[in-house]
Structure 1
Amino acid sequence: MYPTAAKLVAAACLAAIAWNVSGAVIGNLPRGTPAGLLAPLNALIAAFVGWRFLGPRRGQGYGTAAALGLTASGLSTCAALAFWAGLEMLQRSIDLYYRGPMDAIEAGIGLGVEYAGYLAPGPAIGTLALGGIAAGLATEWTARHAR
């Protein structure tokens, strides 16, 4: 688990994509929703995915790199949605909002689906797709040229 230039590039690219998409999504959130930590935490989650998922899988060719970048972008998006839905579910659980653990888990899944709906209006999905492909290609290029 040693650091490499490819892992750094993968983490930086996915973090930049997450930060950019978070800025686009803020306008889609309901009025009054606090969004102060949305971009930094999403970027941190995406950087982790880039470091652990995309960075180690370099060296398989540019076609595979593009597919892996797209996959990493989707994975980081799902991880961020799960994080925010889980956080909201835990906050509601502390307030005794749910009847039991299964009710809380079901609501958490519903919250994740609801939060995913905030991605649809605007350029977020296109940015995630094209940015993920670019991140994969940049990671592959770095793996081939940085020593």
Structure 2
Amino acid sequence: DLGHEYGVNTKRRRRPGWFDAVMLRHAVRLNSMSEIAITKLDIFDTFDTLKVCVAYDVKGVRHDHLPYHQSDLFDAVPIYEEFPGWNTDLTAVRERHELPANAIAYLEFLQEQVGVPIGVVGTGPGRDQYVHFNAQ
């Protein structure tokens, strides 16, 4: 029930997974995104380890991009990189420098993987609970 993710119409509990950098890289290219927002970072406050899918293994072949054939996705196994958690409550964080070092490292890795900057990071459920991550 962490994150309170439920379908809008069905009210069924969603099954969120780890960050999929392969899929987001594809979406960034397709939609010409210039930056992204990361929401619900506070959900990871108590995690010891976080995972990021950086590639897929399809029948023994590593794919750093979305496979060209949709049927290959059925055989795709995520390849993860792991990051240490931060075990810190982020809900009061409003400035980048207040984020734990492990959270900054995780977010910088996501930027590197996706290829566009992270503009905003959500640190709690409230409208005012966010950080301008790449503010100049």
TM-score of the two chains, using structure 2 as the length reference: 0.29
Q: Relative to total residues, which structure has the larger strand share, 1 or 2?
A: 2
Q: Relative to total residues, which structure has the larger helix share, 1 or 2?
A: 1
TM-score of the two chains, using structure 1 as the length reference: 0.27
Between 1 and 2, higher relative CO (CA 8 Å, sep ≥ 6) is seen in 1
